Structure 1
Amino acid sequence: MNILIVEDEELSAERLHKLIMTIDPSIHLLGIFPSVLQTIGYFENESSVKPDLIFLDIHLEDGDGFRIIEHLNLMIPIIFTTAFDEYTLKAFKTNSIDYLLKPVSPLELQASLSKFKKLSEAAENKRTIIEQTFDSEKYKDRFLCTAGSRFFTFKTTEIAYFTIEQRATFLRLFDGRHFAIEYSLDKLCQMIDPGQFFRINRTMLICFAAINNIQIISAGKLKLELNPALSKETYVSPDRITEFKIWLGK
């Protein structure tokens, strides 16, 4: 496996490289780059070997590391390494594998590399959702709801999320209104576009556009802020976090 480290602090870059080699000596480092321009230059050189994985710091000596992704339209998996936690949501919306805070923990780094390898193996077997394509025409584009003696029709694009409350399924619109529907979440997952909706836990199926913020509470625990807001805190199930991050960065 070939990797690239984009980091403007020499000691941090060296420490990260040593940790990586301790975990897996077979990993080959293609280079360490301290700036946005040098990294872009490497990728634009046709003779350069393209990495399988990039370790990317966000604050570099000449600007924002996200500029590299945007300029090159990178689809290569990325593990972010940074001292700042306020870029979590933006990072997860890229093709990121993980978001590690400095100083990088050896155990968290090992877990991130293991996650990357598992996803790579899945991709090779065409079982990962990264390689899935979605035909929007085959998914439900509106729902019929009732309230008393009245009927209401809503486009799927108006729906922020679906929830289970007191054994009943509800849809909540972006304008805050909610209505009961006669579908289970399992059935809804088959009916609506998985490129736009994701089941984060046993009781919630959310739209991408409903996510306001993502907060890392601890290793293996993500808290979401949704629009419209819920009265209770919303978390992604630990066993769904990896797929959730892939879905965000698709």
Structure 2
Amino acid sequence: MNVLIVEDEELSAERLQKLILAIDPTIRVLGMFPSAFETIAYLNNAVNTQPDLIFLDLHLEDDNGFRIVESLDLMIPIIFTTAFDDYMQKAFKTHTIDYLLKPVNPLELQGSLAKFKKIVEAESTAPRLPKYKDRFLVTAGSRIFTFKTSEIAYFTIEERATFLRLFDGRHFAVEYSLEKLSQLLDPVNFFRINRTLLISVEAIRDIHSISAGKLKIDLHPVSSQEVFVSSERITEFKNWLGR
């Protein structure tokens, strides 16, 4: 099991790590972060190993711990560890396993971990439906933005980097390859038409048949380059449009 500790007090973070490993030495602590910004950056990077469980303090050095949950629409299970009980009701409206008050009691922590494992075991035996990404978090300088997938017209490769373009024309870099995005996005709504472009069906304005084996697409917002469907994808593209 992989866990993340989000705690701005270094001694508290180290103590919690020791308690966790004393209960279950097989647990792997991926990292200990003191801020919401660092935690969001880690979780938003597809290259990083994602945690199965997060231990989250509510008062961090730069923001409230709920900022992480709300910015990422986080579905990773959480055990809150805090010195305040004021937020208990709000916490249990998230994907919460438990709410532990500091200083964390080892027996209560053991009970929380046991509860989490039971939930995981129960979920592993239940039939699973695919869960597609419904929002993206991006950074621009010191600012962090989050956008619903429905706001995105298409993803494109430009100068070896991946960008998303919104229907309002704005564009931002994202840390995903188009191949990874094809797995994360609902195939009913998004289709990769060629090597450098993955589009939303809502972004299509016109389709022109240039020849028997070539289709040209007008997108909104307008792309900086002419857009063609790869010849090997035309049949699949037509099937996708006719769903």
Map of 1:20 onto structure 2: 20
Identical-pair percentage: 67
Which stretches in structure 1 are left out of the alignment for 5+ residues?
Answer: 132-250
1:229-244 aligned at under 5 Å gives the runs none
Map of 1:98 onto structure 2: 98
**Mapped partners of 1:126, 1:109: distance in 2:** 26
- Is it true that 1:88 corresponds to 2:88 in the alignment? yes
Which has the greater radius of gyration? 2
Residues 131-181 of structure 1, C-alpha deviations (whole Å, 9 max, x = no match): 8xxxxxxxxxxxxxxxxxxxxxxxxxxxxxxxxxxxxxxxxxxxxxxxxxx
- Look up the equivalent residue of 1:98 and give its one-letter code: D
Which structure has more relative contact order (CA 8 Å, sep 6+)? It is 1
Residues 41-88 of structure 1, C-alpha deviations (whole Å, 9 max, x = no match): 101212111000000000000010000000011000000000000000
Residues 158-211 of structure 1, C-alpha deviations (whole Å, 9 max, x = no match): xxxxxxxxxxxxxxxxxxxxxxxxxxxxxxxxxxxxxxxxxxxxxxxxxxxxxx
- Look up the equivalent residue of 1:48 and give its one-letter code: N
Give the aligned CA root-mean-square deviation in angstroms: 1.4
- Look up the equivalent residue of 1:39 and give its one-letter code: T
**Mapped partners of 1:43, 1:97: distance in 2:** 19
1:1-250 aligned at under 5 Å gives the runs 1-126=1-126
Map of 2:162 onto structure 1: none
**Mapped partners of 1:55, 1:48: distance in 2:** 17
- Post-superposition offset of 1:100: 0.0
- Look up the equivalent residue of 1:123 and give its one-letter code: E
**Mapped partners of 2:4, 2:87: distance in 1:** 21
**Mapped partners of 1:15, 1:42: distance in 2:** 22
Map of 1:154 onto structure 2: none
Per the normalisation by structure 2, the TM-score is 0.52
> Aligned to 1:64, what secondary structure does the other structure show?
coil
Per the normalisation by structure 1, the TM-score is 0.51
Could you list the runs of 4 or more consecutive aligned residues of structure 1 that deviate by over 6 angstroms after TM superposition? none
- Post-superposition offset of 1:98: 0.1
Which stretches in structure 2 are left out of the alignment for 5+ residues?
Answer: 130-243
